[in-house]
Amino acid sequence: MSGSPKTLRLTTAQAIVRYLKAQFIEIDGALTRICGGGFGIFGHGNVPCLGEALYGMQDELPLYRGQNEQGMGFAAAAYAKYHLRRRFMFCTASAGPGTANLLTASALAHANRLPVLMLCGDTFITRLPDPVLQQLEHFGDPSFGLNDAFRAVTRYWDRIVHPAQVIQSLPAALATMLDPADCGPAFIGLPQDVQGWAYDYPESLFAERVHRIRRVTPDAAEVAEAAALLRAAGRPMIIAGGGVQYAQAVSELTAFAETHNIPVVETIAGRANLLATHPLNIGPLGVTGSDSANAIAERADVILAVGTRLQDFTTGSWTAFAHDARFVALNAARHDAGKHLALPVVGDAKLGLDALDAALTGYVAPSSWTSSAQAERRAWDAYVAENVASGNRPNSYAQAIGVVNALCHKRDRVVAAAGGLPAEVTANWRTLDISTVDVEFGFSCMGYEIAGGWGARIAQSEQEPEQDTIVFVGDGSYLLMNSDIYSAALTRKKLIVLVLDNGGFAVINKLQNSTGNKSFNNLFADCPTVPEAFAVDFEAHAAAMGAVAETVSNAVELAEAFKRAKASERTSVIVMKVDAYDGWTTRGHTWWEVGTPEVSASNKVLAAHNEWESVRSRQRKGV
């Protein structure tokens, strides 16, 4: 009988950090640590023990000090997105409000299926000092606390009540974060006493290990059934989602479309699957889409959805397609593959496209169908060119997007989220290179823009340090969360931030008006509790946080300012006022279901309700 295994006596916190240090993944032929480090704000719930453990690992697991826990979570999500879910960062927050601040970020990562590890303080397991500072007491259940709120917004949740749990919990959390079907955030609650308790861990737990992302081979019968449906199609279409990039299946998607001459449309998450100039790229689909993509979606008879969860903005709340259109859904997640009575092909996008390609040998979509789709795209391109051009029109989001698109490097990364900018970027941005667009609309979360830009820049600087991360943000999101301008300046992770000021929440004001309502409480000028609205000096504010900041009056000045920002080594913030009412992209929108009043004293509201409901007959019924 062999001798006892060698052990290391470590605290719970030390064991967690040492384990993370030892986990690797192969990317482009090189072994890379899966965990790129972390974002941390210390407090009494994590500084004495987890802080002590991290101090000794600064070189292997660099720790970025955040200004706000929610921003840290956004940055970690953007980091994971840049690395196509092959790497992640952890976030550590103290017990109480520090941890509570991570809830929104965890929900964002969950909705977007991004790996983020949260290591958060918790109350004492012994309960001897109860109630402690910042503890929420539930009188009938003393085990129930704030950290339980994360159960709803994580893919993996655990509370370490004994040091030995690390042996099981950490590998399980990592396996979840690397799983293509179940990928998402993992939460580990660390009671303040347990963090410092010691245990004799087996040395083998800390041996270096190389992980790989699982590629599930689709079932042959599912592939055959899907191929038979596609082969019978006279007007096929491909919806390319974000999962195409996560599966590193862009080449396979492109080859499949070219071989079978099938038009491709993109989701918001799938932007930058194909270059704008690719002849089969018919444009973005849905509520924030293009006339071209939506036109062919209405006529397609068989739709192959690859790596998309078919969110309502993609499907026009399921009015974008013909009632008799048939769907094939290729997805690593069974839940997504079976939506709306689609024929499911559950498996990896790369392997699935190869299998479908082999099963469709000899099939080519009718040239008349593809040619008509390409004609629609040419018409859309002409509209976009006019839409982004400056001239005798009010300043607009589209103009700013056009300026940046014309001057940026093809490998620069663009970040946007929430409000009107995701729609404007999705519709007007012409993709210059693959996987260069991050429009966060899975959770449509204000505040992601600058924090996410910082996280994306940290990731980008590891692989493409010579390129830029460009953030589009409205004044509303800027006012919500801007402190990571300071983070970027402090850490010398350069951002170019365009603050486009339209005087409030203009896109919601636009929705308010389009549903027959009067402007109310969205634009500062229409807030009844604001005696006199005044402009924020965004330039001075950004400069106070260490950025090079300037204000421009129009698109011509913006172009010159952007050139200066590109040439600078420092984080730059460029401010431009845009019109709240004019200049929106007016084409390319499908119907979107929102609740409208069935009863109202306003005839305009009633008319808008009736108009909205008139489209409901086009809505597909599915499960």
Beta bridge partners, 186, equal: 117, 156
Query: What is the pLDDT at residue 391?
Result: 82
Its domain, for residue 418, covers 389-577
Decide if 194 is inside a domain: yes
Per-residue confidence band for 246, with pLDDT thresholds at 50, 70 and 90:
very high
Q: Taking residues 239-268, what's their average pLDDT?
A: 98
Q: What is the mean pLDDT of residues 19-29?
A: 94
* pLDDT, position 208: 97
Write down the pLDDT at residue 79.
98
- Identify any residues that bridge with 302 across adjacent strands, giving them in sequence order: 236, 326
Residues 345 and 489 in one domain: no
Quote the CA–CA distance of 213 and 613 in Å, as a whole number: 45
Would you state the pLDDT for residue 621?
82
Is the residue at 449 inside a domain? yes
**Rounded Cα distance, 360 and 259, in Å:** 10
Residue 588 lies in a domain: no
Task: Compute the 3-state secondary structure of the chain and give helix, strand, coil in percent, each to the nearest 5.
Answer: 40, 20, 40
Is 233 inside a domain boundary?
yes
- Calculate the average pLDDT of the chain: 96
Q: Are residues 370 and 396 in the same domain?
A: no
Does residue 1 register a pLDDT over 60? Answer: no
Q: Which amino acid is at 332?
A: A
Count of domains observed in the chain = 3
- Residue 335's φ and ψ, nearest 5 degrees, are -60, -40
Check which CATH number belongs to the domain holding 87 and give it.
3.40.50.970
In residues, how long is the chain?
623
- Mention every residue, 6+ apart, whose C-beta is less than 8 A from residue 288: 268, 313, 422, 423, 426, 427, 441, 588, 589
- Tell whether 560 and 506 lie within a shared domain: yes
Residues 439, 321 within the same domain:
no
Whether residue 81 lies inside any domain: the answer is: yes
**How high is the pLDDT of residue 28?**
85
Query: Do the beta carbons of residue 574 and residue 550 sit within 8 Å?
Result: yes
Q: Tell me the percentage of the chain whose pLDDT exceeds 90.
A: 97
Flag whether 586 is in a domain: no
Note the pLDDT tens digit of each residue in 585-594.
999 999 999 9
Shared domain check, 412 and 356? no
Q: Are residues 25 and 107 in the same domain?
A: yes
Q: Whole-angstrom Cα distance, residue 555 to residue 406?
A: 12
Q: Report whether pLDDT(364) > 70.
A: yes
The answer to whether the CB of 252 falls within 8 A of the CB of 347 is no
Q: What is the CATH number of the domain that holds 234?
A: 3.40.50.1220
Residue 217 has pLDDT above 90, yes or no: yes
Final residue in a domain of this structure, among 354, 379, 404 = 379
Confidence of residue 340 (pLDDT cuts 50, 70, 90): confident
Round to whole Å and give the CA distance between 199 and 196: 10
As a whole number, mean pLDDT of residues 152-167 equals 98
Same structural domain, 338 and 306 = yes
Q: What is the mean pLDDT of residues 395-403?
A: 97
Mean pLDDT in residue range 430-449: 97
Mean pLDDT calculated for residue range 483-501:
98
Shared-domain flag, residues 266 and 357? yes
What are the strands, taking DSSP E only, across 12-142? 23-27, 30-33, 35-40, 63-65, 88-93, 117-122
Retrieve residue 480's tokens: 């919500």
pLDDT over 60 (residue 237): yes
Same domain, 371 and 401: no
Instruction: Check whether residue 45 and residue 181 sit in a common domain.
Output: yes
Whether 569 maps to a domain, the answer reads yes
Paired tokens of 40:
């941390």
Q: Are residues 438 and 501 in the same domain?
A: yes
Q: What is the per-residue pLDDT for 2?
A: 61
Given this model, what pLDDT does residue 623 score? 53
Q: Is residue 602 part of a domain?
A: no
Query: Among 169, 191, 211, where does a domain finish?
Result: 211
Instruction: Look up residue 5 and give its DSSP letter.
Output: P
| β partners of residue 469 | 413, 495
184 and 249 together in one domain: no
- H/E segment holding residue 299: helix 291-299
* Residue 456 contacts residue 78 (beta carbons within 8 Å): yes
Q: Which residue has the tokens 């640590």?
A: 33
